[in-house]
Amino acid sequence: MHRFILSRPLAHLVNLHLLPSITRYRSMSTSIPGKYDSWSKEKLIEKLLEYEQREHSATPKTKVDSSVEAPAKSRKHELPSSENSPRPKSKKVKKEQRPFDITKYPKRHIALKVAYFGWNYYGFASQGEKGTVETVEDQLFRALLAARLIADPATCNYSRCGRTDKGVSGLGQVIALDVRSNIPQDESRDRRTEIDEIAYVDLINKQLPSDVRVVAWSPAEDSFNARFDCRSRKYKYFFAKGGLDVEKMREGAKMFLGSHDFRNFCKIDPAKQIVNYERTVLEADIKRVEGMNFSSPELELYELNLTGTAFLWHQVRCMMAVLFNVGQGLEQPSIVQQMLDVDTLPSKPNYEMASDIPLVLYDCQFDGLDWQFSSNKDMLGLSRLHKHIVEQWYTHTTQTLMFSTMYKELGSLLVKPADQTPCTWSEHLGSGKVKATGTNVILGGGRELRLNKYIPMIQRQRQEPFDILNARYNAKRQAKEASS
């Protein structure tokens, strides 16, 4: 029989380690007869080592029993183990973001209805790269680029319905442009309705400041142009009644109806070389603003509703300035008809136009547009827009309330005019005893123009006729081109 030979130190260790197992097997062999009865000690050790080897290879390694602690002195200078010590935070390497390639996506032509409060902007239209002033269109372009709906404002087939002036607001401005879409251009009409389009209203509004919002969007034909396809534009101009004769103003406003030459109700710009100043007014009426509570008739608010096919530069503000003169009794309503007669009055009298703050582009009318206010069935987009407008309304109403409170406080102050009975400041102003030299010409929006003497419109100095202004501008431009 072959014997398994161990070196003396190893055999000694094996004997100590396996002694309990050998004793157990021997006790078993005395009570249970078997094949191990006749085995020698060395063969039993060999067999047990074989079993332990198999068990060791089949069982995963386990951690050392933590209950067996090292002596305190030896632990004092030990370095903390890697398992217990805090691991340094690994810095995540940011993957380089791929540049967004808008050319890989479908595109479509759409119209957007835009609302904005223009008091903080230098008009609606962008002034271009050289412009140093902020416009509403600048905000829209930034939002469209940030939302990755366009690649470049210069190449997105862009058009606008109107160019409102500095400070003028808009609730129904319309623009048109090509934007990124979820719907492939070659999809059938039936299939297009099944594909969820981009939530344009929500996506753009997230990038806009609080005083500019997209209200709705509509699919549009590729040939659609927001300027030339507009059927009509409606403006509103708000003003306080004060001491104005609203009936006379309404009478004068009616004279604007129809097609007229409005050269005396606009700002002449020779750079545009305009030769046709005829425009058509479809609606011109003055109404009381409903739904407002007023503490006195003088504080009642009215609005001029003016609808036309197109308007000239500063036309509405010039029209309103003349109507204010009529309301103050400085001019008769017939002055409107006289200024529309370009044979009698071939060029514009010099006068200050009305304030920009109360003017708003209220609506623009088109054929064939299907306005969509939200991109989901639960109208979530419209709900968000409504919530935002309510927040803005609350903020500005609170500010108005503060000014109203101070206005009332000033009116309740007790004053004692010379040789008069003490009274409140409001009573003193309403007594008619406050006499001021000169004339305060109302310009709207709380503004007034102080004149020592009011000169009737017909008697004022007039500008040069537009054809002379155009010819002079052309001569200067040609001389400049020749010199360069």
pLDDT, tens digit (0-9, with 9 covering 90-100), for 148-199: 999 999 999 999 999 999 999 999 999 999 999 988 877 656 566 667 889 9
Catalytic residues: 165
Give the single-character DSSP code of 172: E
Task: Work out the pLDDT band at 462, boundaries 50, 70, 90.
Answer: very high
Q: What is the pLDDT of residue 482?
A: 87
Residues 118 and 168 in one domain: yes
435 CB-side CA count, 13 A: 1
* Residue 247, domain member (yes or no): yes
Same domain, 342 and 238: yes
Domain boundary, last residue among 328, 345, 366? 366
Establish if 296 belongs to a structural domain: yes
145 and 200 belong to one structural domain: yes
pLDDT tens readout for residues 377-406: 667 778 888 899 999 999 998 998 898 899
Share of the chain above pLDDT 90, in %: 57
What average pLDDT does the structure give for the chain? Answer: 84
Task: Point out the domain boundary residue: 315, 336, 366.
Answer: 366
Handedness of CA 443, 446, 450, 454 (dihedral sign): positive
Assess whether 203 and 302 both reside in one domain.
no
Residue 308 β-bridge partners:
233, 281
Structure tokens at 388: 């935002």
Q: Could you tell me what percent of the chain has a pLDDT over 70? A: 79
- Highest-scoring range by mean pLDDT, 92-101, 371-380, 403-412: 403-412
Contact partners, residue 164, CB within 8 Å, separation at least 6 = 118, 123, 124, 170, 173, 359, 361
- The pLDDT score that the predictor gives to residue 54 is 74
Q: Are residues 278 and 304 in the same domain?
A: yes
Say if strands 107-116 and 169-180 run parallel, antiparallel, or are unpaired: antiparallel
In a domain, 420, yes or no: no
| CATH number for the domain that contains residue 252 | 3.30.70.660
359-365/169-180 β-pairing = parallel
Lowest average pLDDT, out of 8-12, 84-88, 391-395, 475-479, goes to 8-12
Confidence of residue 60 (pLDDT cuts 50, 70, 90): low
Rg (CA), the chain: 44
Confidence at residue 20, expressed as pLDDT on a 0 to 100 scale: 53
User: In the structure, what pLDDT confidence band is assigned to residue 9 with cuts at 50, 70 and 90?
Assistant: very low
Please, are residues 252 and 323 in contact by the beta-carbon 8 Å criterion? Answer: yes
Backbone angles phi, psi at 382, to 5 degrees: -65, -35
Check whether residue 149 and residue 112 sit in a common domain. Answer: yes
Q: How far apart are the first and last CA of the chain?
A: 120
pLDDT higher than 70, residue 410 = yes
Task: Report the alpha-carbon distance of residue 115 to residue 444 in Å, rounded.
Answer: 22
pLDDT for the residue 6: 43
Query: How many domains does the structure of the chain reveal?
Result: 2
Q: Is 239 exposed, middle or buried (0-12, 13-18, 19+ CB in 10 A)?
A: buried
Q: What is the pLDDT of residue 316?
A: 97
For position 72, what pLDDT does the model report?
A: 47
My answer on whether 157 and 267 are in the same domain is no
Mean pLDDT value of segment 208-221: 95
pTM of the shown model:
0.76
Q: What is residue 74's predicted lDDT score, i.e. its pLDDT?
A: 45
Q: Indicate the helix (H) or strand (E) that contains 215.
A: strand 212-219
Cross-strand pairs, 235: 306, 361
Q: Is residue 217's pLDDT more than 70? A: yes
Across the range 233-245, mean pLDDT stands at: 95
**In the 8-state DSSP scheme, what is residue 185?**
T
Is residue 172 domain-resident? Answer: yes
pLDDT over 50 (residue 365): yes
The torsion angles phi and psi of 284, rounded to 5 degrees, stand at: -150, 100
Residue 348 lies in a domain: yes
Taking phi first (over 0 means left), then psi (-120 to 50 degrees means alpha), and beta for anything else, what does residue 394 get?
alpha
- Higher-confidence residue of 11 and 116: namely 116
Is the model more confident about 379 or about 69? 379
Exposed, middle or buried, 25 (CB in 10 Å: 0-12/13-18/19+)?
A: middle
> What whole-number distance in Å separates Cα of residue 354 and Cα of residue 318?
6
Q: Is the pLDDT of residue 360 over 80?
A: yes
Highest mean pLDDT among 25-34, 61-70, 87-96, 348-357: 348-357
Let me know if residue 69 belongs to a domain.
Answer: no
Give the DSSP H or E segment for 21. Answer: helix 8-31
Specify the pLDDT at position 68: 42
Q: Which residue has the tokens 């097609």?
A: 259
| 422 is a domain residue | no
pLDDT at 99: 73
DSSP H or E stretch at residue 163: none
237 - beta bridge partners? 304, 359
Structural domain includes residue 244: yes
Instruction: Based on the fold, state whether residues 214 and 270 are members of the same structural domain.
Output: no
Q: Which domain holds residue 323?
A: 231-366
- At 4 the pLDDT is 43
Q: What is the pLDDT of residue 10?
A: 44
**Distance from C-alpha of 345 to C-alpha of 367, rounded to nearest angstrom:** 38
Same domain, 181 and 254: no
Residues in the chain: 484
Going by C-beta distance under 8 Å and a sequence separation of 6 or more, which residues neighbour residue 359?
164, 165, 167, 168, 169, 235, 236, 237, 316, 317, 320
